[in-house]
RNA sequence: GUCCCCAUCGUCUAGCCUGGCCUAGGACAUCGCCCUUUCGAGGCGACGACUGGGGUUCGAAUCCCCAUGGGGACGCCA
C-alpha cells in the first residue's frame, strides 16, 4: 500500500460530548495516519435527527483540538471530498440506495415500526432473539410494491442479505472473522425520512472519501458483515478494517458518564493536561515495543505501529492517569501552566496581578502537584496571609519555646539582604543564640508563613514571598502564640 | 437465548505470530526503608500474574480443543 494514500477518519455523531473511549478511537486513527504520512479526516455522522444535539458539534471539535488531534480534512476545515457532514450528502445516499434497488441487492419494506416491535416481542417470548427482521416484504411482487406506494405507504429500503453461507473479513488486529449469515438480517439502509442508516452512509462515504483503513470501536464487529455485503453489491474495493478494543470502567462494563468523569472536557476541568491524557490514552491498548511510557507526541508517532495494538479491552485506571499527569506537571513550562492556573486562582477570590510572580509560584508547586486544579487549590498562601494554622501542626510547632526565635527573627530579618544565604545565616545565628537547633525553628517558620505543614522548600518560599510579607507573617505567628 | 470478540500481577502491559534465552520483565497502586526543615516530591526495596482441564511436543505463558469468566452485537441508534 502506497503510504501517500493512507486515509483514515474519525466519524462521531453529534449526540453529546466526546468521551474518552471515542477520543481514544480518534487518537489511534490520528497516530496511524501520522505514522504513515497519511491523512486524518473528521466526518460528522448526523443521520439520526432524533438524537441530534446542537452544541455537541462544538464540544467535539473543542475536545479534539484540546487533545491536539487536528484533522487534515473534514468538517469545519473542508477538503476535496466534502461535504463532510452526512446530512449534507442525502442525495448521494439516495442514489446509491436506488442502485441497489435496481439490481436486486435491496428491496422496499413497508412494515411499520409497530409491527417490527411486535415481531421482536414474539421472538423474545420464544427465546430466539436473533436474526432480526422476519423478511416479510422481501418477496413482495412488483404489483404489491406499486400498490403500496400508490396508496402512500411509507417505506424503508432494506439490504437483501444472503440466506445461507457465511461472511468473513480480515481484521487488521484480530485476523479473519467469520460470521454465519443467519446473524446478518436484512438491515435497513434508508429510513422512511429519507435519511440513510449508519451502514449505508458510512460505506458510501468511506468509498467516496477514499478511506483506506476503517479503524473503529469493536462494537462494530458484528455489523461489519453487512458492510462487506454492501461493498460487494456496489462492486467497490473494501478498506482494511481494524476494530479497536473498548475501554472499560474500573467497575467493569463500558466506561460511561455514570461511572465517573467520562468526557474529555471533564478531564480538562479536573485539571489534567492534554499531553498527559494523550499519552495515557495511547498506552491503553498500545505500547511502543519497549518500556517507555512518558513519550512526546512525535516519539509516539515515530514508534507507532498498528501491529502493536492490543485486541483486548483495557480498564481506564484513573490513578495511573493522575501519576502520568504529575509527570507532565513537573516539566511543563511554568508560564504555560500559569495561564491555566491564574483563572482558577481568581475564581477562588485570590487577586493575581503579577504574572511573573504567579509563574514563580507555579515553579515552586508544579513538582508536587498532580493536577492543575490541585496546584490551584494549594497556593492560597502565596497570595494572602494565612487566616489560620493547621491545628495539628500548630499544636506541635507554634509553642512557647519558639516564640523567642520568631521574635528575634522579626527583629533581625528586616535589616538583612533578602537572599538565600543571608536568610539561612540569620536563622542559624538566631537559633544558635537561643541554643536551639535550626531544625526546630524551620517547621515553625513554615507554618507561620503558609499556615500548613507541607509545601515547597522553606527558603524558596521565603524568597518568593519577599521580605515584608515574610516578616509580617512571622510576627503574626508570634502574636498567635501569645 | 443466538452469534462474535477477548483472557499474563488489583490495574496498564512485555513475552505469544516464528515453542526452549521466562526461577515470566516494566509501569501505576499498595507496603516498608532512606533522604529532607515539611510533603501527596525524590531514591531504594518488598508484595504480586501465565483462568481451569485436556491434548500436541523431549519441552507450552507461547500451538490445538473444551470448559469457565468478561465484553460486544442482535433498532427506521450510531
C1' (B37) to CA (A332) span, angstroms: 27
From residue A300, how far is each of A216, A275, A304, A305 by CA, in Å?
A: 20, 12, 6, 9
DSSP state for residue A287 in the 8-state scheme: -
Identify the residue whose Cα has the smallest distance to the C1' of B77.
A48
A252: pLDDT strictly greater than 70: no
pTM of this prediction? Answer: 0.93
- Cβ atoms of A353 and A381 within 8 Å: the answer is no
CA–CA separation, A245 vs A376, rounded Å? 36
- Nucleotide of closest approach to A287 (CA, C1'): B13
Q: Which of A12, A6, A87 is nearest to A42 (CA)?
A: A12
Under 8 Å between Cβ of A160 and A105 = yes
Confidence of residue A4 (pLDDT cuts 50, 70, 90): low
Question: Quick one: DSSP state of residue A413?
Answer: G
CA angle A337, A342, A348 (to 5 degrees): 135
Residue with grid cell 468509498, as numbered in its chain: A207
Check whether the bond before A83 is cis (ω within 30° of 0): yes
Answer yes or no: are the C-beta atoms of A271 and A372 closer than 8 Å: yes
Amino acid A177 CA to nucleotide B3 C1' distance, rounded Å: 12
Nucleotides of strand B under 7 angstroms from a protein beta carbon:
1-8, 10-15, 25-29, 37-42, 70-78
Q: Quickly give A306 CA vs B56 C1' distance in Å.
A: 32
The nucleotide whose C1' lies nearest the CA of A369 is B40
For residue range A410-466, list pLDDT tens digits in order.
999 999 999 998 999 999 999 888 888 888 889 999 999 999 888 899 999 999 999
Active site residue A210: no
Looking across all nucleic acid strands, the nucleotide with the smallest C1' to CA distance from residue A321 is B28
Domains parsed from chain A with CATH numbers? 1-76+245-331 (3.40.50.620), 90-190 (3.90.800.10), 332-384 (1.10.8.70), 391-481 (1.10.10.350)
Mean pLDDT of A105-113: 92
Beta strands in A53-114 (DSSP E): 73-74, 106-109
| Catalytic residue (choose from A99, A232, A257, A269) | A257
- Nucleotide with C1' nearest the A200 CA: B78
Q: Measured on CA atoms in the order A101, A107, A111, A116, is the torsion positive or negative?
A: negative
Question: Mean pLDDT across the stretch A291-295?
Answer: 91
Give A146 CA → B78 C1' in Å: 32
Contact present, A270 and A20 (Cβ < 8 Å): no
ipTM of the complex: 0.93
Amino acid at each position: 500500500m502506497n503510504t501517500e494514500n493512507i486515509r483514515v477518519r474519525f466519524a462521531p455523531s453529534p449526540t453529546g460530548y466526546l468521551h474518552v473511549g471515542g477520543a481514544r478511537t480518534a487518537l489511534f486513527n490520528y497516530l496511524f495516519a501520522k505514522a504513515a504520512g497519511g491523512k486524518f479526516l473528521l466526518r460528522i455522522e448526523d443521520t439520526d435527527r432524533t438524537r441530534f444535539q446542537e452544541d455537541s458539534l462544538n464540544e467535539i471539535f473543542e475536545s479534539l483540538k484540546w487533545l491536539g488531534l487536528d484533522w487534515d480534512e473534514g468538517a469545519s476545515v473542508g477538503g476535496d471530498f466534502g461535504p463532510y457532514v452526512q446530512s449534507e450528502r442525502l442525495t448521494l445516499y439516495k442514489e446509491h440506495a436506488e442502485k441497489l434497488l435496481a439490481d436486486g441487492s435491496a428491496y422496499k419494506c413497508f412494515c411499520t415500526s409497530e409491527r417490527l416491535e411486535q415481531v421482536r416481542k414474539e421472538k423474545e417470548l420464544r427465546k430466539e432473539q436473533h436474526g432480526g427482521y422476519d423478511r416479510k416484504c422481501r418477496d413482495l411482487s412488483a404489483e404489491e410494491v406499486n400498490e403500496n406506494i400508490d396508496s402512500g405507504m411509507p417505506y424503508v429500503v432494506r439490504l437483501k442479505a444472503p440466506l445461507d453461507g457465511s461472511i468473513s473479513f480480515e481484521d487488521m488486529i484480530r485476523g479473519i472473522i467469520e460470521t454465519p449469515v443467519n446473524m446478518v438480517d436484512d438491515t435497513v439502509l434508508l429510513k422512511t425520512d429519507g435519511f440513510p442508516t449508519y451502514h449505508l452512509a458510512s460505506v458510501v462515504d468511506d468509498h467516496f472519501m477514499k478511506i483506506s483503513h476503517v479503524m473503529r470501536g469493536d462494537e462494530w464487529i458484528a455489523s461489519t458483515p453487512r458492510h462487506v455485503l454492501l461493498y460487494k453489491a456496489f462492486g467497490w474495493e473494501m478498506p482494511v478494517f481494524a476494530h479497536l478494543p473498548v475501554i472499560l470502567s474500573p467497575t467493569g462494563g463500558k466506561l460511561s458518564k455514570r461511572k465517573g468523569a467520562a468526557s474529555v472536557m471533564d478531564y480538562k476541568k479536573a485539571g489534567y493536561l492534554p499531553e498527559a491524557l494523550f499519552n495515557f490514552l495511547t498506552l491503553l491498548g498500545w505500547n511502543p515495543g519497549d518500556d517507555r511510557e512518558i513519550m512526546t507526541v512525535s516519539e509516539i508517532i515515530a514508534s507507532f505501529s498498528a501491529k502493536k495494538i492490543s485486541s483486548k479491552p483495557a480498564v481506564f485506571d484513573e490513578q495511573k492517569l493522575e501519576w502520568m499527569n504529575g509527570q507532565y506537571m513537573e516539566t511543563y513550562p511554568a508560564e504555560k501552566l500559569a495561564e491555566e492556573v491564574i483563572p482558577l486562582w481568581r475564581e477562588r477570590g485570590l487577586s493575581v496581578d503579577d504574572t511573573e510572580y504567579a509563574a514563580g509560584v507555579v515553579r515552586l508547586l508544579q513538582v508536587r502537584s498532580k493536577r492543575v486544579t490541585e496546584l490551584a487549590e494549594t497556593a492560597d498562601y502565596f497570595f494572602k496571609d494565612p487566616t489560620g494554622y493547621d491545628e495539628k501542626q500548630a499544636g506541635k510547632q507554634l509553642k512557647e519555646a519558639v516564640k523567642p526565635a520568631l521574635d528575634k527573627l522579626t527583629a533581625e530579618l528586616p535589616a538583612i539582604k533578602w537572599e538565600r544565604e543571608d536568610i539561612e545565616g540569620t536563622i542559624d545565628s538566631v537559633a544558635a543564640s537561643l541554643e536551639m537547633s535550626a531544625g526546630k525553628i524551620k517547621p515553625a517558620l513554615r507554618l507561620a508563613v503558609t499556615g500548613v505543614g507541607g509545601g515547597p522548600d522553606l527558603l524558596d518560599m521565603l524568597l518568593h514571598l519577599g521580605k515584608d510579607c515574610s516578616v509580617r507573617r512571622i510576627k503574626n505567628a508570634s502574636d498567635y502564640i501569645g
